[in-house]
Structure 1
Amino acid sequence: MVTEYLPSVRSASVGVWVGVGSRDEGPTVAGAAHFLEHLLFKSTPTRTAVDIAQAVDAVGGELNAFTAKEHTCYYAHVLDNDLELAVDLVSDVVLNGRCAIDDVEVERDVVLEEIAMRDDDPEDALADQFLSAVFGDHPVGRPVIGSVQSVSEMTRAQLHSFHQRRYTPERMVVAVAGNIDHDEVVALVRQHFGPRLVRGNRAVPPRKGAGRVTGKPRLTLANRDAEQTHVYLGVRTPGRHWKHRWALTVLNTALGGGLSSRLFQQVRESRGLAYSVYSSQDMFSDTGALSVYAACLPERFAEVARVTADVLQDVARDGIAESECRIAKGSLRGGLVLGLEDSSSRMNRIGRGELNYAEHRSIDRTLQELDEVTLDEVNAVARRLLGKTYGAAVLGPYSSKKSLPQQLRAMTG
């Protein structure tokens, strides 16, 4: 358990973080963690879905969840006076969700609708295709949401077994932030987790590893008659335990993380080739990816690919400038602090930190680690990563890979 007292707010955010995500599924039950996240809100032994919804609405609160590659989080955001209700509701859903057969069938249709909605959004659909192109058969390369086939064929028994085997207190972190008292929170959690808390059981340690990803990244193409061409391209990186992870974050910000970044300036501001262009990171326990996304008119795709390739090659060869490093660090510093001005973001920070690192990382410590990043370190990371073979995913009106820009095909081997 981890808490953070925020005397200046009148709210409380409660999160139960479960160290189980889509990478923990077998291929035949792809999407089980996400399906289960939906299902647990449908009913518990003492509450129906309507009861749960009315309890939250009656206090003007929020109750929700999200599933990622390596964890699932169930959370509530309420007034500080309603802390006990929030702990009660979240723990009841996480521990006691029934996985009733009728609920499985209803929620199956909801998840299939969500997959259809994802497929209708080119950026979301392509993000999943990109990770598959970069990681291949590795579990982090599979979509969190699963596939139409896997969700359609999943049984109540499989979901119930996944819940019972995986959702144990040793894999959970309870994080609470807001106008709260630590001892009161501990007492509430003891009360609502009750007999599930077995004395002597040790927490499952944070995930670690060296990223056993086999095979080369590849280029994938989704032929769609769309108004725009969408492209993701990027390289594999070490995971979140890498000692140079902050240098990588600075590099990402300088490349495409803001209005002054290289890609934004070169692709959008100077040439007007695309409205949307940015870079981003995916960081897992044992591996990761640094990627670039752009969307443009099909007739401009060749030029976007050329400019993007030039930017990446220039940074790989010559690095970024001192001014770019300084601006990127300032952007990260401000974004980190400004993004922690409410209890929900604080809860997310401390919960994720405890689950991923088994320790509380203060904001001051994080800012110090960021300040210690040097230009030489950032440029060494750029030389190491940006010269590797790229993976890429393209969505647009193209019948074959041969019709894609030569620069893109060259970068992807």
Structure 2
Amino acid sequence: MFAREMRDQVRKTRLENGLTVITERMPWLRSATVGIWVRRGSRHEPAELNGICHFIEHAVFKGTLRRTALDIAIETDRLGGHLDAYTMHELTGFSLKVVDTAIEQAFDLLSDIVARPRFAPEDLAIEQRVILEEIKMVEDTPEELLAELFNDAFFPQHPLGRPIEGTPATVPTFDRERTLYFHRRSYAPRNIVVAAAGNIEHERLVELAAQVFSAVPSEDDAPSVERPTPAAPILIERKRDLEQAHMILAAPWPSARSEERFAANLLISILGGGTSSRLWQTIREERGLAYSVGAATSAFSDVGVFQVYAGTSPDQLGEVLDLSMRELRRIAREPVSDEELRLAKDQAISSILLGLESSSMRAGTLARQEIIHGRYIPPEETIELIERVTPEDLRDLARTYLQTERMAFGALGDLNGFRVDRARLEI
């Protein structure tokens, strides 16, 4: 009964111009989250415009045809809510969490920002400088710098390998003409998903969305999305002024749409998803070789990336790499125990159930599911698929994806003399 009631609370409407409105009514909450998600991210940019999606995400807050930047800041504070905006490889999101009585004001603010930005030349020049400083911050943050260098090598000559924030060469070229042109094509109604969760009325949000976006032109926007072919680089970058060495161990992985994604996430959890995981216990707790160590995945629409990451002293990097490879070999050769799998399943299911209490989590989930899968996926469906995963599924998955010739390695730090060959990455 609970599952059916939850499905009954989710409604979706697609307007004639292609814009999608999807809501989940949660009448027992006093909070509500409304957001606007765009089916465009850095993956959809040509090389010469690398970073423009992220630039637009920043620039829309500099003012609209109705509001100044200060007006936007004051109104956000007055609503007392939490405003979030972010750019990813395959989408851009804007959301605002407020009390339920302020949902219409929140949508008016968000939709004005997204649909009617001013893009004044003087404002764009200021934001260019801000983002160039952001790029410098990445260069001064070893973990982020290594991630960008590694992505470029892992996805050579592909948008997934380019930095989301752009480069010092591309960002200064984002003048008003370029920014406005890209915004009009990318923020067309058919690329927009309006999602909300909380004590809201679906029909009213549909009405509000139609009022705002009916006047937005639907210009031709069909960027080619080439499926990437991951490489298997071994990348050693020397940076002498670092106290720690930072490493990434990676391989191709199931995509966000793959039926294997549930087994893939459970395997990540067992390997390095928490303090009871194999990597954490082996490298940090038993040997004290690292403060930060774990495993994670980046899942795109057509490819995924498995990563082990760690930060350690340069003279311990080889040992951390060898211990990590030992755990990868073990999980590819031996079924995990029933106890380990049960723990990973309990952790995943708890995360899902706890997320049901948050309007912001549920609004974001609605939007991402619509963009990635084109439909709402009830929590009980996800939980059922998690429960079906067996130890044999995890071993088969590891054998399929964790292959010697597909393993990649990256390291950054004071690494004079450090070497890695393919034999050391043998599974």
TM-score, L = length of structure 2: 0.90
Preserved CA contact (<8 Å) 2:29 2:199: yes
Partner of 1:217: 233
Aligned equivalents of 1:371 and 1:80: distance in 2?
35
- Tell me if 1:300 matches 2:316: yes
Aligned match for 2:342, one of 326, 334, 353:
326
Preserved CA contact (<8 Å) 1:31 1:147: yes
Partner of 1:411: 425
Partner of 1:394: 411
> May I ask how many residue pairs the two structures share in their alignment?
406
Please list, as runs of the form range in 1=range in 2, the aligned pairs for 1:278-289 lying within 5 A after superposition: 278-289=294-305
Report the Cα offset of residue 322 of structure 1: 2.4
Report the Cα offset of residue 268 of structure 1: 0.8
Partner of 1:129: 149
Please list, as runs of the form range in 1=range in 2, the aligned pairs for 1:223-242 lying within 5 A after superposition: 223-242=239-258
Report the Cα offset of residue 215 of structure 1: 4.5
The 3-state SS of whatever aligns with 1:295 is strand
Classify 1:406/1:56 alpha carbon distance in 2 versus 1 (closer, same or farther; 3 Å).
Answer: closer
The 3-state SS of whatever aligns with 1:196 is coil
Aligned match for 1:102, one of 103, 114, 122:
122
Aligned equivalents of 2:238 and 2:262: distance in 1?
34
Aligned equivalents of 2:239 and 2:335: distance in 1?
35
Classify 1:335/1:391 alpha carbon distance in 2 versus 1 (closer, same or farther; 3 Å).
Answer: same
Deviations 1:32-76 (CA, angstroms, capped at 9, x unpaired): 100111001111111110111111111212323100000000111
Aligned match for 2:173, one of 153, 169, 187:
153
Aligned equivalents of 2:133 and 2:392: distance in 1?
48
Report the Cα offset of residue 223 of structure 1: 2.2
Partner of 2:104: 84
Partner of 1:378: 394
Aligned equivalents of 1:385 and 1:276: distance in 2?
25
The 3-state SS of whatever aligns with 2:289 is coil
RMSD: 2.4
State the one-letter code of the partner of 1:287: V
Preserved CA contact (<8 Å) 2:247 2:309: yes
The 3-state SS of whatever aligns with 1:36 is helix
Preserved CA contact (<8 Å) 1:2 1:173: yes
State the one-letter code of the partner of 1:94: V
Q: Which moved more, 1:187-196 or 1:290-299?
A: 187-196
State the one-letter code of the partner of 1:329: K
The 3-state SS of whatever aligns with 1:191 is helix
Aligned equivalents of 2:244 and 2:309: distance in 1?
13
Aligned equivalents of 2:48 and 2:316: distance in 1?
40
State the one-letter code of the partner of 1:398: L
Report the Cα offset of residue 103 of structure 1: 0.9
Aligned equivalents of 1:412 and 1:127: distance in 2?
22
The 3-state SS of whatever aligns with 1:4 is strand
State the one-letter code of the partner of 1:48: T
Report the Cα offset of residue 111 of structure 1: 0.6
- Tell me if 1:255 matches 2:254: no
Preserved CA contact (<8 Å) 1:134 1:218: no
Preserved CA contact (<8 Å) 1:256 1:278: yes
The 3-state SS of whatever aligns with 1:149 is coil
Classify 1:367/1:214 alpha carbon distance in 2 versus 1 (closer, same or farther; 3 Å).
Answer: closer
Aligned match for 1:270, one of 269, 274, 286:
286
Preserved CA contact (<8 Å) 2:59 2:124: yes
Q: Which moved more, 1:181-190 or 1:215-224?
A: 215-224
Report the Cα offset of residue 354 of structure 1: 0.8
Aligned equivalents of 1:142 and 1:244: distance in 2?
26
Classify 1:328/1:405 alpha carbon distance in 2 versus 1 (closer, same or farther; 3 Å).
Answer: farther
Please list, as runs of the form range in 1=range in 2, the aligned pairs for 1:101-120 lying within 5 A after superposition: 101-120=121-140
Preserved CA contact (<8 Å) 2:234 2:408: yes
The 3-state SS of whatever aligns with 1:58 is helix
State the one-letter code of the partner of 1:140: L
Preserved CA contact (<8 Å) 1:305 1:407: no
Aligned match for 1:196, one of 186, 193, 216:
216
Report the Cα offset of residue 339 of structure 1: 3.0
Partner of 2:57: 37
- Tell me if 1:169 matches 2:189: yes
Report the Cα offset of residue 233 of structure 1: 1.4
Report the Cα offset of residue 227 of structure 1: 1.1
State the one-letter code of the partner of 2:295: S
State the one-letter code of the partner of 2:160: V
Preserved CA contact (<8 Å) 2:37 2:192: yes
State the one-letter code of the partner of 1:378: L
- Tell me if 1:5 matches 2:19: no
TM-score, L = length of structure 1: 0.93
Preserved CA contact (<8 Å) 1:231 1:392: yes
Partner of 1:180: 200
Report the Cα offset of residue 120 of structure 1: 1.8
Aligned equivalents of 1:190 and 1:374: distance in 2?
46
Partner of 2:71: 51
Report the Cα offset of residue 144 of structure 1: 0.7
Preserved CA contact (<8 Å) 2:155 2:228: no
Aligned match for 2:364, one of 322, 336, 348:
348
Aligned equivalents of 1:269 and 1:408: distance in 2?
28
Aligned equivalents of 2:279 and 2:253: distance in 1?
20
Report the Cα offset of residue 7 of structure 1: 2.0
State the one-letter code of the partner of 1:173: V
Aligned equivalents of 1:321 and 1:307: distance in 2?
20
Preserved CA contact (<8 Å) 2:44 2:225: no
Preserved CA contact (<8 Å) 1:133 1:220: no
